[in-house]
A and B are shown apart, each in its own frame.
Chain A
Amino acid sequence: MASHVVAHKPAEHEPVNTTLRHHFASDEQQKDAATIGMWVFLVTEIMFFGGLFLAYFAYRQAYPAAFASASGKTNLWLGAANTTVLICSSLTMALAVHAASLGKKTLLVIFLVLTLMLGGAFLGVKAYEYHDKWVHHEVPGAHFECEGCDDAGHAPLFFSLYFGMTGLHATHMLIGFVILVILIVKAQKGEFTTKWYTPVEMFGLYWHFVDIVWIFLFPLLYLIDRSHTGLK
């Protein structure tokens, strides 16, 4: 701690560090502060999604048969393929941060654009799945039907959680798209340097967090009791 108290006095011919705010002692300290702040935000996000996961576990243990057969209505292949797409976008995001840390501008822009495209592909598949649920009357409401479901009276609970959880996840991705576009423009302008690419790195944390949420949503929503409901 003591090392940071010493103020950083630029030497006569040292270039001015425009990305270091005056209240930080060093680039490292500034970055550590940003990382901690971002993680505190992500912890609130963990609790935000945590409430929905608790609702899921509570109702799943109360109505296991309804959850098992309603889960069988989801498309396992699309779910697994979409998980793969999202993990690919996490890889391109990690590589974008890597490129930024090495100051490779073109590569950074390419990986950010790839992340955006893969995210778009994920939401495209999600939209197809939502449409599929809509035409099969599997959206909870007046016209809800769950053909061949056990305990069909409680099946809307599963689908409410399905749409609520995947919907909140998709909302996070849409917000991510907006930030990604801003980052791509800034990266193209050359605003990030090897000393300061904090926005890219912090957005990376957000994007990976969204990936982690899906890592849990996939088995919990798509993979209940597949040995009995079969593959679709």
Chain B
Amino acid sequence: MSDHSEHHIVPKRVYFAVFATLIAMTWVTAWVSTVDLGRLNIFVALSIAIFKASLVILFFMHVKYGTKLTKMIVLAGLYWLILLLFIAMCDLWTRTWMGVPGR
């Protein structure tokens, strides 16, 4: 633990910039949902959500200024979440591809 966050105080303008981006992206995602992009709609919606969540984690939750151990714990948590969602969804998405009964 050699990389302490030693009294790192994030300047207020960073918070306001993140806040403005979050608000803007909220209304962008609401608007873009009304445009028919077919199957792309959910990918756009999730990309915007992931972008917003990343801003909150990095700046509001100070992970950007945190120790390496904190960063590793956050990434490990997200890694397990991706394993849970991705592996389960790979199964569900591909079950119908073979036309085998018993779906």
Contact = CB atoms under 8 A, between A and B. Distances in A.
B9 A102 contact: yes
Contact of B27 (A80, A205, A209, A226): A80
Contact of B61 (A36, A208, A222, A227): A208
Contact of B92 (A62, A76, A93, A225): A62
A58 B92 contact: yes
A219 B2 CA distance: 40
B98 interface: no
A101 B62 CA distance: 13
Contacts of B89: 54, 57-58, 61
Contacts, number: 149
B33 A211 contact: no
B86 to A, nearest CB: 10
Contacts of A42: 77
Interface string A80-92: 1001100110110
Contacts of B30: 76, 79-80, 222-223
Q: Which of A43, A51, A93 neighbours the largest number of chain B CB atoms within 10 Å of its CB?
A: A43
B61 to A, nearest CB: 5
Contacts of B70: 32, 35-36, 39
Contact of B48 (A47, A204, A219, A222): A219
Contacts of A61: 89, 92-93
Contacts of B15: 91, 94-95, 98
B100 interface: no
A211 to B, nearest CB: 6
B34 A226 contact: yes
Interface string B1-35: 11011110110100110010011001101100111
A43 B84 contact: no
A231 interface: yes
B84 A54 contact: yes
A172 to B, nearest CB: 15
B29 to A, nearest CB: 6
A54 B26 contact: no
Contacts of A226: 33-34
A220 B36 CA distance: 16
20 contacts: A32-B70, A35-B66, A36-B69, A39-B73, A39-B74, A46-B77, A50-B81, A58-B88, A62-B92, A84-B27, A87-B23, A201-B62, A208-B56, A208-B60, A212-B53, A215-B52, A215-B56, A219-B45, A224-B33, A230-B34
Given A4-B1, A212-B53, 6 more contacts: A40-B73, A43-B73, A46-B81, A54-B84, A76-B33, A218-B49
